[in-house]
Amino acid sequence: MPKRTDEDAEIEPCEHMKDYVSALSDGSLRGPIRWYTLLHASYCRKCGPALRLLRALRQRMRGLRHSVADKPAPPDALTEARRQQAQDALDAIDTSPRP
């Protein structure tokens, strides 16, 4: 069986700190509980890595959102010339004599 690395391990904060660590990572945690969570995460073997991982994940997601928004829309599957060829073929069928 392959040896697990730190990257493979599930990193979760302490049960009683999950909401606080999550809120701290997205910037929505305010007031004294923010400072308490920062202090706790700086010493806790579970919350510190979880906070770093959540922040990295949020940063990557922001990068993806911006990269998708910056890409031009994909061109139509049919170019104008190909669309005209298809229309001409359909017109030819419509005007062909019927048996």
Q: What is the pLDDT of residues 6-54, one digit of tens each?
A: 555 578 999 999 999 999 999 999 999 999 999 999 999 999 999 999 9
Are the C-beta atoms of 20 and 50 separated by less than 8 Å? Answer: no
Are the C-beta atoms of 54 and 41 separated by less than 8 Å? Answer: no
Give the integer Cα–Cα distance in Å for 55 and 76.
37
* pLDDT given at position 34: 95
Express each pLDDT in 76-91 by its tens digit: 656 777 778 888 888 8
Tell me the angle at which helices 47-70 and 32-43 cross, rounded to the nearest 10 degrees: 110
Q: Has this prediction a pTM greater than 0.85?
A: no
Residue in the block written with tokens 């010339």 = 81
